[in-house]
Amino acid sequence: MSGHYNLKALIKAIRSCKTLADERSVIQKESAAIRTSFKEEDSFARYNNIAKLLYIHMLGYPAHFGQIECLKLVASPRFADKRLGYLGIMLLLDENQEVLTLVTNSLKNDMNHSNMYAVGLALCTFANISSEEMSRDLANEIEKLLGSSNTYIRKKAALCALRVIRRVPDLMDHFVGKAKSLLQDRNHGVLLAGVTLITEMCALDERVCDEFRKATGLLVKHLKNLVTTGYSAEHDVLGITDPFLQTKILRLLRLLGKGDATASETMNDILAQVATNTDSTKNVGNSILYETVLSVLEIEADSGLRVMAINILGKFLTNRDNNIRYVALNTLNKVVSMDTNAVQRHRNTILDCLRDGDISIRRRALELCYALVNEGNVRVMIRELLSFLEVADNEFKLGMTTQICLAAERFAPNKRWQIDTVLRVLKVAGNYVREEILAAFIRLTCHTPELQFYTAQRLYAALSSDLSQESLTLAAIWIIGEFGDVLLQGGTIDDGEEVKQVTDTDIIDLLELVLSSPYANTLTRQFVLVALSKLSVRLAELSTPNQSTNQDRIAEILANFSSNLELEIQQRAVEFGTLYGMRDIKMGVLERMPPPEIRATMMGTVSERKPVGSTRTDKDTVVDLIGDDSAPAAINGNGTSSGPSTQDLLADIFGTGAADMSPSPSGSAPGASAGQPPRSAAADIMSLFDSSPAPVPPTSAASLPPANAQATSGSLFDLVTPSSSAPSSAAPAAPAAQPPKPQLQSYSAYDKNGLKITLTPKVSPTQPGVIQILARFASTAGEAISGVNFQVAVPKTQQLQMQAMSSSDIAAGGVETQQMRIHAPAGAAIRLRMRITYSRGGQNVTDQQDFSGFPADLTGSR
Amino acid sequence: MPHRCLQVRLRGEVHRLIAPRDQKYQSNFVEFRNDKIVYRRYAGLFFCVCVDSNDNELAYLEAIHLFVEVLDAFFQNVCELDLVFSFYKVYAILDEVFLAGEIEETSKQVVLDRLDYLEKLE
């Protein structure tokens, strides 16, 4: 069997194959023929065979059996054979030690060859292989050839030396002396190779770098020659003399000038000259400008030069060539941490790059934008980022939502703005939000009582119009559940926008809709169950009109889930259902959460380069959401006035109580602590208890201790234990040990003409500074009163919101109510000026009276 | 660093990365593992070099063009078939322009003179 006549015939045969199988069979036959031919030791056929074999190798088929034949070719006196032999060695060589030794010997012979082309071939082959052992063996030959009188050899030897020191840095000393003389070389090729070699040496060894600093002046002179000499045909590229040599010299200057003021001073002028004189209309010129910028930024350049460099990058950003913009953004990203202000000047151009057609440019522009956000420009930058978020590639969204929210947290001008920003993020990219961000948002809302109505209202509206954004859904459900009462009580939104009053029925409708939507998942279902349970309490507190219907609906929904296939949900539904029946303890268990500890949202570095993935577990999230309930001790240092004291009290109760929840009535912790004098840690909240005289009949919440004692210990454990073992639903269960609610004290504010008005203030421990006041209008004289209009004014530092009166007509002996809410700074006294108009027995009465009878520490003391 | 894709797998990877890229709207640089690929397209042919991530991409674009100009001058209007049938000569030209991963000679004339002389030796 014989192979194809020659390389050309083989290539043609292979190219004419129609299928891969054909090609394979042609190559197998040819390979077999070549093997047979090798055995015949025909030195004339060898050249042809190796040529064919290399082609086969290029196509990806095995060809290593030709290694030894290549060595035989190298030994041939014919130059063509030698050349092909070395090519074969470069392509086919592997780690075979025996062959490597043979190759080293051939290279050694040829490096001492009388023909400079043979020497050139050997150097070339070495440069492409240069194993460690080979580097050690041939270092002396290469050192000798560095001093050759032939430029062709010198230049190749310089690059071989480069390979040697990369492989074996110890051998550097061999070449330092010869390398110096290369810098004096008049030949561009040798100079280029020499500069490359020295750059590598300087990068590898600081000591050598010091030595070459002396040559800074010489390099500057070389560069100056290149820049100032006119046209030289030999090295011209589009009007620029040897741009490759220029960039190499600039790169070496960078290493020499770094951290050395003298060397930097020496090169200052030439860098400025290159930066100003280089033609920036073509890629060639820009490659030099780019290298110059990099050097200026790394050496100890004066500030004028630095600004010039950053301005060059700014100009790059407006270039139409994608490559130039890419390079500019890449470099600005490196510079931004060193000199933010200089980069800020190009902010608008960078923002424009967010809309670039090239995704890698968008990615880099985005990175840069993150770095540029600060207090001064946060509104503008976040606005731009938010509008980009709407059109951004999905792969950017997770990083973007994180970065936007973190920036908002760091630089927010006010809370309202921060909440608006996160709301927008949730609406636009609610499926790309990290859990930590969601948790931070909830934390923020808990700590911003003045905006809870606003937040809840906005979330309600957003969720009503879009159920598809998971994080929006979760945030909305949680906030609506927790602050359902705030939402129902209504209020105003500062910007005078018309607010649609939400009713309890609306809320439950919405939650049901969430459950039935195609986007519902386990997590949202869990959130909804918790929210519904909380809502049942919030509704009861408010005595809303459709109270009983809605309570029944909640009970029904919970019951529906008690046979759910998911264990977690089923268990939760059953527990909530049971809790639902226990009216007495339900109130305390589902009391408002204490605001979680405020802390900066911690996040590993989020970079567009590295895709971010959540590494946190579910458990952490819930801990985040509910604050550090599980570790109350950590909260002691918290500054909020009554939140932590609740916690402490809770810890007191829970710490001892959890241990001995045994049915020993006397040891029952809640009962004990409520009866004992307040401890200092719990002073704030206990002062509320104290201020209320004891004889008031116990409210439902105050009956918690007896309920505790009555309830069999088993049922209480049902509530408490699972919550600690299954944290994903800990949110509702954690407050199980809320303290008894303060008993409410009424104050008489007006009592004339058979109309008695009493005011009952209520301060939530979690919302210091927000006072709910229930005004009760009673007709005491056995006569109906009609057309009652009750107006109230508060001092300017406080804010008042009033609901409508339950009815403006009071039947004889009847009672009507009106809710109002005051936001007051901590420690402020509540003073009200009331104007009351009503008619009684056909007689119109208008009265005005001031009231300041609430206890002074009502708004908390600070 | 000019990169000869010795391994077919590597070659395939790079090809898959670069072939679908848009000529008009995308830059000529792609990140690849810890390095960067700088490529340039001439009709149906891609010339790719793999460089360190802190190398000057723009300069390598020029270097690719220099190499292509040398090829063009050597083969007198080079086409794909020249490269296929004379692949061993392409290697020889490459060795005269780049060596040890660095650019070796920037004068087209010097390279072409050398190549002519080597041809005569055969």
Q: How far apart are CA B70 and CA B41, in angstroms?
A: 16
Which pair of structure tokens corresponds to residue A118? 């043979």
What is the rounded average pLDDT of the residues A270-275?
A: 93
Work out the pLDDT band at A621, boundaries 50, 70, 90.
Answer: very low
Q: How far apart are CA A67 and CA A129, in angstroms?
A: 14
Please check whether residues A50 and A153 belong to one and the same domain. no
Task: Give the list of residues 6+ apart from residue B90 with CB closer than 8 angstroms, or none.
Answer: B71, B83
Q: Which of A571, A594, A617 is the last residue of a domain?
A: A594
Helix axes A261-277, A216-228, angle to 10 degrees: 10
Q: Looking at beta carbons, which residues of chain B come within 8 Å of A157?
A: none
pTM of the model: 0.66
Average the pLDDT over each of A41-50, A113-122, A248-257, A487-496 and give the range with the smallest value: A487-496
| 3-state class (DSSP) for residue B39 | strand
8 A C-beta contact, residue A836 and residue A789? yes
Q: Verify whether the Cβ–Cβ distance A91 to B61 is below 8 Å.
A: no
Q: Looking at beta carbons, which residues of chain A come within 8 Å of B84?
A: 11, 15
pLDDT the model gives residue A539: 83
pLDDT tens per residue across span A240-270: 889 999 999 999 999 999 989 999 999 999 9
Q: Which of A40, A61, A92 is the last residue of a domain?
A: A92
pLDDT the model gives residue A817: 81
Q: Verify whether the Cβ–Cβ distance A244 to B106 is below 8 Å.
A: yes
Q: How far apart are CA B20 and CA B12, in angstroms?
A: 13
Work out the pLDDT band at A97, boundaries 50, 70, 90.
Answer: confident
pLDDT the model gives residue A357: 82
pLDDT the model gives residue A384: 92
What is the rounded average pLDDT of the residues A478-494?
A: 83
Q: How far apart are CA A254 and CA A301, in angstroms?
A: 11
Asked, for residue A804, whether it belongs to a domain, the answer is yes
Asked, for residue A519, whether it belongs to a domain, the answer is yes
- Strands of the A843-851 sheet, one edge to the other: A785-793, A832-840, A843-851
Average the pLDDT over each of A614-623, A650-659, B15-24 and give the range with the smallest value: A614-623
Report the percentage of chain A scoring pLDDT > 70: 81
> CB distance from A77 to chain B under 8 Å?
no
Q: How far apart are CA A288 and CA A294, in angstroms?
A: 10
pLDDT at A629 over 60: no
Please check whether residues A17 and A120 belong to one and the same domain. no
What is the rounded average pLDDT of the residues A793-800?
A: 78
Q: Which of A8, A287, A326 sits opposite B85 (nearest CB)?
A: A8
Work out the pLDDT band at A60, boundaries 50, 70, 90.
Answer: confident
Please check whether residues A477 and A500 belong to one and the same domain. yes
Task: Give the list of residues 6+ apart from residue A616 with CB closer than 8 angstroms, or none.
Answer: A435, A436
DSSP state of A847: E
Closest alpha carbon within chain A to B113: A152
Q: How far apart are CA B29 and CA B23, in angstroms?
A: 11
Average the pLDDT over each of A239-243, A375-379, A780-784 and give the range with the smallest value: A780-784
Q: Looking at beta carbons, which residues of chain A come within 8 Å of B95?
A: 124, 128
Q: Which of B28, B62, B109 sits opposite A237 (nearest CB)?
A: B62
Which pair of structure tokens corresponds to residue A811? 């039947």
Q: Looking at beta carbons, which residues of chain B come within 8 Å of A242?
A: 106
What is the rounded average pLDDT of the residues A679-704?
A: 40
pLDDT the model gives residue A764: 66
Q: Looking at beta carbons, which residues of chain A come within 8 Å of B62?
A: 237, 243-244, 283-284, 287
Report the percentage of chain A scoring pLDDT > 90: 41
Helix axes A79-92, B87-97, angle to 10 degrees: 80
Q: Verify whether the Cβ–Cβ distance B103 to A244 is below 8 Å.
A: yes
Q: What region does A340 belong to: left with phi over 0, alpha with psi -120 to 50, or beta? A: alpha
Residues facing residue B99 across a β-bridge: B102
Which pair of structure tokens corresponds to residue A372? 């540029």
pLDDT tens per residue across span B60-112: 999 999 999 999 999 999 999 999 999 999 999 999 999 988 999 999 999 99
User: How does the average pLDDT of chain A come out, rounded?
Assistant: 80
Asked, for residue A693, whether it belongs to a domain, the answer is no
Closest alpha carbon within chain B to A284: B62
Domain B2-121 has CATH 3.40.50.970: no
Q: Verify whether the Cβ–Cβ distance B121 to A117 is below 8 Å.
A: yes
pLDDT the model gives residue A241: 87
8 A C-beta contact, residue A262 and residue A215? no
pLDDT tens per residue across span A637-665: 333 333 344 444 444 434 443 334 444 44
The shortest C-alpha distance from A107 to chain B (Å) reads: 16
Average the pLDDT over each of A32-41, A111-120, A711-720 and give the range with the smallest value: A711-720
Please check whether residues A61 and A125 belong to one and the same domain. no
CA atoms within 13 A on the CB side of A389: 28
Q: How far apart are CA A854 and CA A834, in angstroms?
A: 15
| Greater pLDDT, A705 or A527 | A527
Q: Which of A7, A80, A163 sits opposite B100 (nearest CB)?
A: A163
Asked, for residue A727, whether it belongs to a domain, the answer is no
Interface test with B, best of A56, A124, A324, A363 (most B CBs within 10 A): A124
Q: What is the largest CA-CA distance in chain B?
A: 47
Interface test with B, best of A55, A73, A83 (most B CBs within 10 A): A83
Q: State how many domains chain A has.
A: 4
Which pair of structure tokens corresponds to residue A688? 């509320």
Q: Which of A183, A204, A225 is the last residue of a domain?
A: A204
Work out the pLDDT band at A127, boundaries 50, 70, 90.
Answer: very high
pLDDT at A740 over 80: no
Q: Looking at beta carbons, which residues of chain A come within 8 Å of B22?
A: 357-358
Over the range A461-498, which residues count as b (16 or more CB within 10 Å of their CB) and which as e?
Answer: ebbeeebebbbbbbbbbbbbbbbbbbbbbbbeeeeeee
Q: Looking at beta carbons, which residues of chain A come within 8 Å of B40?
A: none
What is the rounded average pLDDT of the residues A425-448?
A: 92
> CB distance from A52 to chain B under 8 Å?
no
**Burial of residue A113, with CB atoms counted within 10 A of its CB: 0-12 exposed, 13-18 middle, 19 or more buried:** middle
Using alpha carbons, select from A754, A748, A749, A759 the residue that is nearest to residue A785: A754
Closest alpha carbon within chain B to A242: B106
| Greater pLDDT, A780 or A177 | A177
8 A C-beta contact, residue A128 and residue A90? yes
| 3-state class (DSSP) for residue A625 | helix
Please check whether residues A590 and A452 belong to one and the same domain. yes
Which pair of structure tokens corresponds to residue A612? 């971010």
Q: How far apart are CA A28 and CA B39, in angstroms?
A: 34
pLDDT the model gives residue A789: 85
In A755-855, where do the E strands start and end? 755-763, 770-779, 785-793, 799-802, 815-823, 832-840, 843-851
The shortest C-alpha distance from B121 to chain A (Å) reads: 7
Work out the pLDDT band at A860, boundaries 50, 70, 90.
Answer: low
Please check whether residues A577 and A544 belong to one and the same domain. yes
| Greater pLDDT, A193 or A666 | A193
Closest alpha carbon within chain A to B118: A117
Which pair of structure tokens corresponds to residue A720? 């408490």
pLDDT the model gives residue A722: 40
pLDDT the model gives residue B37: 94
For chains A and B, CB pairs below 8 A equal 132
Q: Looking at beta carbons, which residues of chain A come within 8 Å of B91?
A: 87, 90
Cα separations (Å) of A171 from A124, A137, A139, A168, B116? 19, 11, 8, 6, 36
Q: Looking at beta carbons, which residues of chain A come within 8 Å of B29?
A: 323, 326, 360
ipTM, two decimals: 0.92
Using alpha carbons, select from A117, A119, A118, A121 the residue that is nearest to residue A129: A121
Please check whether residues A21 and A156 belong to one and the same domain. no
Average the pLDDT over each of A87-101, A252-266, A627-641 and give the range with the smallest value: A627-641
pLDDT at A733 over 50: no
What is the rounded average pLDDT of the residues A539-564?
A: 84
Q: How far apart are CA B106 and CA A243, in angstroms?
A: 9
Q: Look up the domain containing A62 and give its range.
A: 1-92
Please check whether residues A80 and A141 belong to one and the same domain. no
8 A C-beta contact, residue A244 and residue B106? yes
pLDDT at A599 over 80: no
Domain ranges of chain B: 2-121
pLDDT the model gives residue A632: 37
| Greater pLDDT, A669 or A36 | A36
Q: Which of B29, B91, B114 sits opposite A323 (nearest CB)?
A: B29
DSSP state of A729: G
Q: Verify whether the Cβ–Cβ distance B59 to A291 is below 8 Å.
A: yes
pLDDT the model gives residue A601: 67
Q: Looking at beta carbons, which residues of chain A come within 8 Å of B105?
A: 155, 189, 192
Q: Verify whether the Cβ–Cβ distance A361 to B24 is below 8 Å.
A: no
Q: Verify whether the Cβ–Cβ distance A247 to B88 is below 8 Å.
A: no
Please check whether residues A50 and A169 belong to one and the same domain. no
Interface test with B, best of A55, A128, A186, A197 (most B CBs within 10 A): A128
pLDDT tens per residue across span A695-727: 434 344 333 344 343 433 444 444 443 433 334
Q: Which of A58, A159, A237 sits opposite B99 (nearest CB)?
A: A159
Residue A181 belongs to domain with CATH number: 1.25.10.10
pLDDT at A685 over 50: no
Asked, for residue A503, whether it belongs to a domain, the answer is yes
Q: Output the CA angle A359-A360-A364, nearest 5 degrees.
A: 115
pLDDT at A353 over 70: yes
**Residues for chain A: how many in total?**
862
Using alpha carbons, select from A231, A329, A245, A325 the residue that is nearest to residue A286: A325
3-state helix, strand, coil in chain A (%, to 5): 65, 10, 30
